[in-house]
Structure 1
Amino acid sequence: MADLWRDRARQPRWLLRPGGDARPHYVVCGQEALAFHLVNTLLGTELSTGSVRVTVIVPHRRRLNEPDIRSIRGIRLIKSDRLDEDTFRAAGLAGAAGLALMRQDDVGNIHAALCAQAVEPGIRVVLRMFNGSLANGVRQLLPDCAVLSDASMAAPAFVAAALGEVTPTYFRHGGRTLHVARRVEVRPEQVVCGLADTRERNDQRVLPEDEDEADLVLAEATGQPSDVERTARRVSRDRQRRNPLRVFGRAVRSFVTRKIGIATMVVLVVIAVFGFLLSFTQPGVTLRQGLYLAVVITLSGADAGLEKNGPVQVIEVVLNLAGLALVPLITAAVVDGIVNARLALTADKAQPRREDHVVVVGLGNVGTRVMAQLHDLGIEVVAIDKDPNARGVPLAHRLGIPLIIGDAAQEETLVAASVAGCRALLVLSTDDVSNLQAALNGRSVKEDLRVVLRLFDGDFASRIQRAFNINISRSVSYLAAPSFAAALLNRAVIATIPVERHVLLIAEVPVVAGALLVGRPVGAAGQPRSVRVIALTRAGQSRPLWSPGVDERLAAGDRLTVVARRAGLSWLLKQAGPPTDPDPDTGPARGPLPTQPAPPAGEVD
């Protein structure tokens, strides 16, 4: 407790007087990457535009592979290893607008939520949880609670990146089921709006001003054949990949070593050639009979016969020598196959050669979700983790997924996973350095390998992608932070859409009385490359008007459904919300709306 009050004494005075600042107060517990991005989102860079106060509770010790949340300016910091009632009181939870529990401990987060309820009954609580069945029970236990999983949010994006497809995002709104698709995969009348132009990997444009330039679109799922063509093609490809003849061929190739196989093939070719010669050197012997004699002579030996002509005697001598070589080769192949089989049963690293599979490195929260989803799609998976007690190890055993216990940063581990023949390598551990080393080692094994790399630092990820031509680098916490922030701020964010390394939000924004948008056209609520209005729901109505005209006038009580970047949604919330400093005599100013500048081309959302 002494540490709590000592840290409290260092804070600015306005942070210590709950009644001295009218801004909502939020408490965040945790120092992992997700908590880091969540705090940055709350502190005005994203949804709240600096209109909140944030207190962060962190443990005394910081792990080396975690971001330094202490470096964020403008937060109140409290150090405590326990999330109990005393800690929450010292953090000023009484009267706070919300609490975010971001630690990677499901049971510990539930206990902390119950302690928080004792300090501030009915407080808005957002929990980070991995166990989905446990999450359903927590929602019933706490009256105002949102239970989210960053792993389940990010896993579809990693799966889509590994397969080279669009992230499978589906949601229902206004009586329609909407999904993200390539423009060429849907009919023109199904397109709701353009999302991004992704044809140039190093120059991707999100929400381009000309929607016709977008190859990635938000479309309505109508159940017509064009909606399911891609799924049918994928099922067909998977069936071809699992062809029994191909599986048998791979099994035969993996039974013996390459050198023994080559030597055996050479001996068999010699037998075939000399069997062909026997059919010419002996009168009345057909080609089939010649091959038969060659095999018998090779396996059983031939009786010497001085009456035979010279060519036949030479052929019989060579075939006898081939027989002497063939028997040891067959013996060696059998012994080698038995030894390999025993090694495969006793050592995880003894994996057969595989092709067209996906290698998943790191079986933590995200890696486990990705492995399970790939398995559900019928994709062959090989998993790697250096910890035999990792979270996903029991699931891998239960699903029958080959598992290698080893360091993916070592090239021999990747070779054992048959990276040379895989479709993609997903490196999803929490250590940036090990992830990068595994990705580069994978590229050394296979130059054109498709690599999906998980990195925390966004700028570092962008530079790595350009410098080493890594296909895709993603940050799980960056993908999930908008949803956690929206849940904590109780915003109506319907869905999040990852577009490569950007994140778009589908949100419903109400226009309140006195807002700057009241009486203005719908076009005033949109901004190129930042906010796009896709539907308008009039006050008192339940069905939205899709693709409203830009000249439609807005009224108090209307609701706008938009696709927006995070900074763009922050701007729109200010324009649609109550005026911050209205004039008591004249009311809010009615000048031109301030614009949200379009982000630079290289900015990552």
Structure 2
Amino acid sequence: MCGDDPLAYRMIDELMTRYRVRVTVILTSRHRGHGPQIARLPVDIVESDRLDGDAFRRAGIAKADALALVHQDDVGNIHAALQAQEVNPKLRLVIRMFNMSLGHGIRQLFSDCRVLSDAAMAAPAFVSAALGEVAPVFVRLSGRTLYVARRSQVRTGDVVCGLAVTMARGEPDLLPKEQDRADLVLAVAKGVRANGDDQAAGSTDTSELVVARNRPVSRRRGAAAARLRRWRRRPLRALSTLVSRKLRIAALALVALLVAGTAVLKVALGKSWLEAGYLAVLDALAGANADEGAPAVVKVTETVLTIVSIALIPIVTATVVDALVNARLALALGRLREPISDHVVVVGLGNVGTRVIRQLHDLGVPVVAIDKNQGARGIPVARELNIPCIIGEAHRTETLRAASVRTCRALVVVSTDDVTNLETAIQGRALQDDLRVVLRLFDGDFADRVQRAFGITSSRSVSYLAAPAFAAALLEREVIGTISVSRKVLLIAEVPVCAGSELAGAALADAGDVGEVRVIALLTDRPRTTMWDAPPQRRLKADDVLIVVATRAGLGQLLTRTGPPEPAVGADSPA
């Protein structure tokens, strides 16, 4: 394992507790990053400032079965993989990359390699939480597309298996024995809406989302048309994005005094509204002419208007300059150029935030992005997609106001600093009491307490969502997808039955431990077919492949029961 960040820590914990393999870690220092947490685990540690041949030889890579490169550095990980392959050409590689287009090409350089993106795995969970959807999982298997939905939103015949009971208080009950109890299900998408009794009133059939996500251009055009209509109906609201609040208040106060002066002159001099307004404007802008014979009330009014004139011209000048400066900043930095509402505010444009804004944009959802660093990875992406982007500290009230948090539908905070994320969420709630907040936090226990104490809508951990798939890839197991249920994770995986394993020759029903594993399909070798409704009494053969939905613990137990008598990665060999 090469890395010392949250993903590396969770992967090590997953490998040791779920699969019981020996792990050696190469990190910069056991005293920095997540080094102290990793050092507390029963692992071998090699400290090295560089990932080079010397570090790999000290880690015993010549006898290792697999190598995980999980630094947030695409080029550095590729370079390290090339060096490791020179030492051990048979090494299985799992490489973390953000640029998956590059990653797909890199796989061709190595005989046994998986390229994974933790950001790509985690981003759908943040998107679905922001939009209030059940889960963002769409998996294509043997000619079928499976998706996650509420039982009330799908036809009974389309349900593949029950996933969880989420309506009760407390933690969700995953893979319940009585599948009819599960309100969250895995279903077959057939591209048609349920109707009548099959669909809850006012709900959206998730199966249609499969079709909708294939036509993002039309949805984006619809969103743009909606914004144009709002602009035509309320053009004055554009001033709020170009003129500061203090200047608006000062200008309104002076205008109020000008109107009051007009009214006094009308009454005192017996003039019409037009004549009184004419005199008031000239007095305010050109200065009053002293008239010793004028009534006292006229003298007082002209004195006030003269004082107003001292402040009015600078205020008008400042307002114009402020609007011009803000307009230029808007064009330069992609800031808001029109009033906006019912949008999603995304804070943090790193790996995950970049994926989140791209997916929301593809779904036709208006987005405003915030990052304190103008050189953040997602800034070019935001500009390419014409997404307004504010450069500033997200936990500051004025930054959130500039992003129109008061009128947004959700605030998604995905920077890498837990404290800053929490502070931003609290400030967002102060601006909108019922704001939907989706928070990125590493520590699961801390996240649960935060949700309860502050009423945060939901919290997610990127490393928690991605670690199971990375760990399974190291052990040559194919994790097809992950399903986030609250802060728990279910895995969709392909598990081959090896010759001589405990389940070879056993009934299919024996593979499903209640509460841990659900077998949803069986891939047979001769002939190669997919059996979606295989009989429970069917005997499993070597080279059969089980497609399962399982908890992390359940998948670990199933891998033990389907593996060969001598596992490829055992207790005496480092991974």
Q: TM-score, normalised by structure 2?
A: 0.80
- Counterpart among 373, 392, 400 of residue 378 in structure 2: 392
**Could you tell me the percent identity over the aligned residues?**
52
CA contact (8 A) 1:270 1:322 kept: no
What is the aligned counterpart of 1:343 among 322, 326, 344?
Answer: 326
Contact kept, 8 Å, 2:258 with 2:305, in 1: the verdict is no
2:390 and 2:144 map into 1 onto residues whose CA distance is 44
Q: Which residue identity is paired with 2:440?
A: R
Partner residue in 2 for 1:34:
7
Amino acid at match of 2:38: I
CA shift in 2, pair 1:455/1:321, >3 Å: same
Q: How does 1:491-502 map to 2 (within 5 A)?
A: 491-502=477-488
1:334-385 Cα deviation digits (max 9, x unpaired): 8525423313424869867642222222221111211222223232222222
**505, 519, 523: which one pairs with 1:533?**
519
Distance 2:261 2:518 in 1: 74
Superposed CA deviations along residues 125-173 of structure 1, whole A, max 9, x for unmatched, are 1111112232122112222111111111111111111111133222221
Q: 1:573 to 1:65 in 2, by over 3 A?
A: closer
Structure 2 match to 1:259:
249
- Whole-Å separation in 2 of the counterparts to 1:395 and 1:229: 24
Report the counterpart of residue 292 of structure 2 in structure 1.
Answer: none
Worse-matched range after superposition: 551-560 or 249-258:
249-258
What does residue 127 of structure 2 align with?
159
1:310 maps to which residue?
none
Task: Pick closer, same or farther for the CA change 1:246–1:168 going to 2, 3 Å.
Answer: farther
Shift of 1:206: 1.8
The counterpart of 1:245, out of the listed 229, 232, 239, is: 232
Give the Å deviation of 1:389.
Answer: 2.1
Query: How has the CA–CA distance of structure 1 residues 445 and 451 changed in structure 2, closer, same or farther, with 3 Å as cutoff?
Result: same
Q: How far apart, in 2, do the equivalents of 1:265 and 1:546 lie?
A: 74
Q: Contact conserved, 1:156 with 1:370, CA < 8 A, in 2?
A: yes
2:92 is equivalent to residue 124 of structure 1 = yes
CA distance 1:299–1:380, shift in 2 (3 Å): farther
CA distance in 2 between counterparts of 1:510 and 1:390 reads 42
- Could you say which residue in structure 2 is the equivalent of 1:425? 411
Q: Tell me the distance in 1 between the aligned counterparts of 2:227 and 2:180.
A: 36
| Rounded Cα–Cα distance in structure 1 between residues aligned with 2:33 and 2:492 | 35
> Bigger shift: 252-261 or 422-431?
252-261
Match of 1:194 among 155, 159, 162: 162
> Contact 2:118–2:463 (CA<8 Å) still a contact in 1?
yes
How many corresponding residue pairs? 527
What is the match of residue 68 of structure 2?
Answer: 100
1:532–1:562 CA contact under 8 A, matched in 2: yes
Pair 1:175-2:165 in alignment: no
Q: Whose Rg is larger? A: 1
Is the Cα–Cα contact under 8 Å of residues 2 and 8 in structure 2 kept in the other structure? yes
Structure 1 position 36, deviation (Å): 0.6
Cα distance, 1:392–1:255 mapped onto 2, change above 3 Å:
closer
State the partner residue of 1:15: none
- Equivalent of 2:208, from 228, 249, 262? 228
Which structure would you say has the larger RCO, counting Cα contacts within 8 Å and 6 or more residues apart? Answer: 2
- Opposite residue 431 of structure 1, the aligned amino acid is D
Tell me, yes or no, if the aligned pair for 2:68 and 2:93 is still in contact at 8 Å. Answer: yes
The corresponding residue for 2:28 is: 59
Q: Of 412, 423, 444, which residue of structure 2 is paired with 1:437?
A: 423
Tell me the CA shift for residue 76 of structure 1. 1.0
Q: Is the CA contact (8 Å cut-off) linking 1:124 and 1:145 kept in structure 2?
A: yes
2:476 is matched with: 490
Cα shift readout 1:542-597 (whole Å, capped 9, x = no counterpart): 2222133433343444332110011001111222233469xxxxxxxxxxxxxxxx
| Alpha-carbon separation, structure 2, partners of 1:393 and 1:514 | 54
Partner of 2:284: none
User: Cα offset for 1:177?
Assistant: 1.6
Deviations 1:388-436 (A, max 9, x none): 3222223333333333322223333323322222221111111112212
Instruction: Write the mapping of 1:80-91 to structure 2, written as runs, cut at 5 A.
Output: 80-91=48-59
Change in 2 beyond 3 A, CA 1:83/1:203: closer
Structure 1 residues 108 and 350, CA, compared in 2 at 3 Å: closer, same or farther? closer
Equivalent residue runs for 1:355-366 within 5 Å: 355-366=341-352
Alignment of 1:469-548 (within 5 A): 469-548=455-534
Deviations 1:490-528 (A, max 9, x none): 112222222231211111222333333344332221123
Whole-Å Cα distance in 2 between the matches of residues 434 and 346 of structure 1?
25
CA distance in 2, matches of 1:462, 1:147: 31
Match of 1:413 among 375, 399, 402: 399
2 CA distance for matches of 1:387 and 1:539? 53
Aligned residue for 1:409, secondary structure, equals coil
- Residue 29 of structure 1 and its aligned partner are, at CA, apart by 0.5
Pairwise CA distance, 1:261: 7.6
